[in-house]
Amino acid sequence: MNPFDVKGFDKPEAFRRESLKAYKRIFSKTIKESFLIDIINRIERDPRYIALLLNVDNINDLFSMDSVVVGKNTSFLNTCKMIVMCHYVNTVNLSDAERGKKQEDTQYKAELIDDVVEMFKLQRLATPGFSNSSLESFLPIIYYISALNNLCGDIYTNLTNKNIEAKKPYISEFNYKMIYKLLIKIRACISLADIGATDELMVIYRTLIELFMTYFALWDKDENAIKAFYEFDNATFEYNYNQKIPENMESEAKKLKVNKVNYINYGWIIKLEEYQKIFGDSPNIGLGGLAKVLDAKYEHVCADFGSTLYTFYKSCNPQTHATLLIMNYFQLELYIFQNIAVMLNFICEIILQNLFTVSFKVGEIDLIGKLKEVLEQSKNILEWVGSDQNNLSKTNMDYANRANCSMKMR
């Protein structure tokens, strides 16, 4: 099947010619145009890709001239985005001469097509349904976070319907609610990256870190700890809306000589056994105290688990911490989503090893394994970006060119 041979067009060759011209116009300055067309020509003949296209509903509607030229969210337009972004992360740290050699290498072209076909298999799962023009959501690390996060969302639906076997006789409502909230926060981060709202993304990412730290302190705790959390959470809600603090909590904060707002936000951590062992009668009530609790709880997993998260949290406050403001948008994007990838992997491990019997595979694709693979690639790129001012300048220009490309698709 030729995706350009569309029902309703008397001359498919004319459609094909105009479509390729449109792709050249849309993606100019983001990829070498002749290379893009070459990969398009190769991929449209790939039997794996053709088989996937045949499974797409309303195939004839997907490839109308209107969709291609105007930039609607068609499967083939998304394939072009996959080509552009996969090739970009594969070659961003190469010189022009090295990139040119890659673009002439037959083996590299075959590998790139393999990567694109794999991404295309996950299109319905990974692609933001509302996106018509984004390129950033097709950056492999964001794309595979999106796929895994949405798969977790499907699993969550089955969790709430009680269709998935629990590994424990009783899984608290707290777990259900917090898993849902974490998945929604991650989806919000993807959506903001998708529209290029990187500054706003930083704000949501900050709240995601705090929510993640809270969940990882409490997911395996008994009813008393969960009850204490909800008591303080309700007090925080009331304070945010009517500036009132329960008398008993205000009195307890005064007795402990801690800030009363900090107390209603984080007083529940006193109920954790790790807190008692670390602080005893010397209170440290706040996110910093919670970080130390997580350090102790997960010291067998990695050193400074909570303190590292706390550092990320502080660096995302532009009013008081300028760490991230010196980054360009692409650098910031990589930084944020690398950390989200790690958090999502931990969430999946908790679900898989401790809560429920589930699978994070889609067909033959192991999404957790794939996310780890693109995470390593992303780490290498981030290290390269930060190693030289010229690299920063180049990727900043690349990001701007992708933003201009997105404008052409609107």
pLDDT by residue for the chain (410 residues), tens digit each?
Answer: 455 554 444 566 777 788 888 889 999 999 999 999 999 999 988 989 888 877 654 444 444 444 444 344 567 888 999 999 999 999 999 999 999 999 999 999 999 999 999 999 998 899 865 555 689 999 999 999 999 999 998 887 776 666 566 666 556 788 888 999 999 999 999 999 988 888 888 889 999 999 999 999 999 898 889 999 999 999 999 888 888 888 899 899 899 888 899 999 999 999 898 898 888 777 889 999 999 999 999 998 888 999 999 998 988 765 544 445 456 889 989 999 999 999 999 999 888 877 777 889 999 999 999 999 999 999 999 999 999 999 999 999 999 999 888 887 77
- How far apart (Å, rounded) are the C-alpha atoms in residues 349 and 85? 28
Give the SS3 label for residue 166.
strand
- How far apart (Å, rounded) are the C-alpha atoms in residues 52 and 243? 56
Residues written for the chain: 410
Which segments within 216-372 are labelled E, that is strand? 361-362, 365-366
What do you get for the CA distance between the two ends of the chain, in Å? 28
99: Cα separation from own chain's centroid: 28
Record the tokens describing residue 18, joined without a space: 């105009």
- How far apart (Å, rounded) are the C-alpha atoms in residues 38 and 60? 24
Max CA separation in the chain (angstroms)? 83
Helix axes 140-160, 106-121, angle to 10 degrees: 20
Considering only CA atoms, which of 92, 68, 62, 74 is closest in space to residue 394? 92
Which one-letter amino acid corresponds to residue 229? F
